[in-house]
Amino acid sequence: MEFPRIVVNAKVYTEATGPGARALLDACAAAGRTGLAPPLTELGNMARFGRSAPLFAQHVDALPAGVGTGFITAAMAKAAGASGTLLNHAEHKLKPVDLKASLAAAKAAGLWTLLCADSLAEARRLAKLAPTAIAVEPPELIGGKVSVTSADPAIVSDAVAAVRDLDSDILVLCGAGVKTGRDVRAARKLGAHGVLLASGVVKAKDPAAALRDLASGLL
């Protein structure tokens, strides 16, 4: 299975729960080359719908089976149907020691690891951990109307160059304000493998149409 070019972070939006969960997963599958990070409560349900689009756990903890109320282990996420995990998002930042431990647990469970970086400097630091991919997302642009590809294209191209210098196997995605196929095309021209986004799909009036537009930027 290929690492997705588009990863949709559904956060804890109500549109990604209940009946909306199946519709969102179907839209990701139809778009192709798209992965979905659903609310953790929906991960197992979505996997039972069919592995038509790769799923990412929004977080995993570095705990063995046993004591750990309120946490989710990497092994549990894998068993629930996840292909990967999203770690260190701006809304769920981890201390370096905790991030390193969660990353190791995810790798041991056979999960892709997508780490979020809020700056070029952080992207460089995270590359030393050898994740599957790094998503560069300036926090001030998250949820905004202007894509990082136009507001700060240099951070994308510089992150791609910096990460490749350290480890050419690590994929680089970009996010924050990404909403259209034009944004995806711009990201690709800047050297990114793809994009990470949330509200541009999940809160769209027609998520399937939004994803078709985004996927057109991959052509």
Query: Which residues are designated catalytic?
Result: 89, 137
Angle, CA 158 vertex, CA 154 and CA 159 arms, to 5°: 115
Upper half-sphere CA count for residue 111 (Cβ side, 13 Å):
32
d(CA 141, CA 119): 12
For residues 108 and 14, give the distance between their C-alpha atoms in angstroms, rounded to a whole number: 32
Spatial neighbors of 67 by CB under 8 A, at least 6 apart, are none
Q: How far is 190 from 76, CA to CA, in rounded Å?
A: 36
Give how far the C-alpha of residue 58 lies from the chain's centroid of Cα atoms, to the nearest Å.
8
Cα(170)–Cα(173) distance, rounded to whole angstroms?
A: 10
